[in-house]
Amino acid sequence: MPPFFGELETIHFEGRESQKPLAYRWYDPNHVVLGKPLSEHLRFAIAYWHSLAMNGSDPFGAPTLNRPWMTRSDAMEGAREKADAAFELFRVLDLPFYTFHDRDIAPEGADLKESLKNFQAMVEYLAKKMEGSKAKLLWGTANLFSHPRFMSGAATNPDPDVFAYSATTVKHCMDATKQLGGSNYVLWGGREGYETLLNTDMGRELNHLGRFLNLVVEYKHKIGFDGQILIEPKPKEPTAHQYDFDTATVYGFLKKHGLEGEVKVNLEANHALLAGHSFEHEIATAASLNILGSLDVNRGDPLLGWDTDQFPNDLQAMTLALYQVILGGGIGKGGLNFDAKIRRQSIEPEDLVHAHVGAVDLCARAFLNAAALVEAGELKAAVAERYAGWDKPEAKAMLDGSLTLEQISEKTLANGVNPAPRSGKQERLENLLNRRLF
């Protein structure tokens, strides 16, 4: 078997002066910042689906990508060869984690039993590969959206058989994630949504989804899986209206079903954009609600209205996002997963390597910038000064329950309160940010 990634050497940190096309210039995994190594802050992961299982086809055209590991006629042989290529890529990139859907690693069988048998065989194969590799599993997930049986949803499908099929699939995917030492289990509601209310009972579907998620959480505790359960919000695509629209919507859903202490979010940059938010908005929202779980780092194209899943390359946007991660207490058991695909014209396996190296460096550089902003303390001081009025006892009394609305009114009138507008100093702070970026 020829090497799928040529004779590429393992990529290492070489510093900013390196002239090599493939070297980490910013990502020094051992560099200690804010009290721990960069590798522990960032926990980079390679996504099996975009990087190993995609062939470059799109709604308008045939596969374009040169993928020598996708040529076998026997599906299980092909799955093993794909895994061989995956671990070669992990070795070349020298990143700590990977992520997969069940269908990325093993082919669909003739029925559910055969599909699960294929899956379990490949889980054993991955377990063996992991013994000879540094790569660990950041999270596993189930693909409950590609096959036509899921066209009307998985947990929200009007057909209870699809609910049962999906529950069975998730049960086995959770088992596999635990077996492989995964840190998280993710649920992205690919088709949990609807196209038209003319054929949809939305209240019923949402309740079914709530029950499904409770089943997942109950099972997590039953098997002693100590990873996080994560929902990945997305507002639309493939369905017109997706139930897990954004972080705030997911939080309301978790509260309704009593799961706000059990389930967190896996936030994707491009999904935030599709919801009309910035990535940092979604991160700050999740952190404020104590449900920040993990990140899918990528970017969208602001000129396009769909999920382009490009590799991140905007330093300022990523710095602002990671600044909010730091303020929110870090990523914990989560990580930064490259849910990103190379463009259809980037046909060589080596293009995958360049994409990851650039994105890793971009994120590392953004994190170092964000950490420097935190350490300088100027932004934090500006925010503290803006809210300083709330440190006064009479202000605190309005929040701590000691004053009623009537009493606040009486005191306000008696004291002749007359607020003077103060500048929000936005441009000054934006200039500060731009001046500090390196």
Question: Of 26 and 188, which has the nearer Cβ to Mn ion?
Answer: 188
Give the nearer residue to Mn ion in terms of CB position, either 25 or 101. Answer: 101
Contacts of 350 (CB under 8 A, 6+ apart): 5, 6, 8
Measured from the CB atom, the residue of 175 and 339 that comes closer to Mn ion is 339
The separation between CA 270 and the C-alpha centre of its own chain, rounded to angstroms, equals: 10
Subset of 397-426 contacting Mn ion (CB under 5 A): none
By beta-carbon proximity to Mn ion, the closer residue of 102 and 268 is 268
Query: Phi/psi at 160 (nearest 5 deg)?
Result: -60, -25
Closest CA to 137 of 178, 85, 187: 178
Q: According to CB under 5 A, which residues from 322 to 341 bind Mn ion?
A: 339
Q: Which is nearer to Mn ion, 269 or 320 (CB)?
A: 269
| Closest separation in Å from C-beta 296 to Mn ion | 4
What tokens appear for 424 in the block? 């929000």
Contact 240, 268 (CB under 8 A): no
Distance CA 323, CA 409 (A): 39
State in Å, rounded, how far the first CA of the chain is from the last one.
Answer: 44
CB of 437 to Mn ion, least distance (A): 27
- Alpha helices in 314-377, H assignment, sequence order: 315-327, 349-376
Residue type at 69? W
DSSP class of residue 269? H
Closest CA to 76 of 120, 132, 113: 120
Q: How far is the CB of 337 from Mn ion (least distance, A)?
A: 7
Tell me if 305 sits within 8 A of 275, measured CB to CB: no
Reading phi first (left if > 0) and then psi (alpha if -120 to 50, else beta), residue 206 is in alpha
CB of 77 to Mn ion, least distance (A): 29
287-316 positions binding Mn ion, by CB under 5 A: 296
Query: Please, which residues bridge with residue 37 across strands?
Result: 32
Whose Cβ is closer to Mn ion: residue 280's or residue 339's?
A: 339
Burial degree of 337 (CB within 10 A; 0-12, 13-18, 19+): buried
Q: How far is CA 429 from the centre of its chain?
A: 28
Alpha-carbon span 384 to 382, nearest angstrom: 5
Q: Name the one range near Mn ion by CB under 5 A: 130-138, 248-256, 268-276, 416-424.
A: 268-276
Pick 45 or 284: Cβ nearer Mn ion = 45
CB of 232 to Mn ion, least distance (A): 5
Among 28, 175, 246, 268, binds Mn ion (CB under 5 A): 268
DSSP string, 221-266: HHHT--SEEEEE--SSSSSSEESS-SHHHHHHHHHHTT-TTTEEEE
Least separation in angstroms between residue 47's CB and Mn ion is 8
- In which element (H, E) is residue 101 found? strand 97-101
Shortest Å distance, C-beta 33 to Mn ion: 26
| Helices 247-256 and 202-223: angle between axes, nearest 10 degrees | 80
Query: According to the binding rule CB under 5 A, does residue 262 interact with Mn ion?
Result: no
Q: What is the DSSP letter of 140?
A: E
- Looking at residues 116 to 145 of the shown chain, list those that interact with Mn ion (rule: CB under 5 A): none
Least distance in angstroms from the C-beta of 271 to Mn ion:
7
Size of the site for Mn ion (CB under 5 A): 3
Q: Which residue numbers are catalytic?
A: 101, 104
Of the ranges 71-79, 124-132, 260-268, 405-413, which one interacts with Mn ion (CB under 5 A)?
260-268
282 versus 339: smaller Cβ distance to Mn ion: 339
Please report, as ranges, the residues that interact with Mn ion according to CB under 5 A.
268, 296, 339
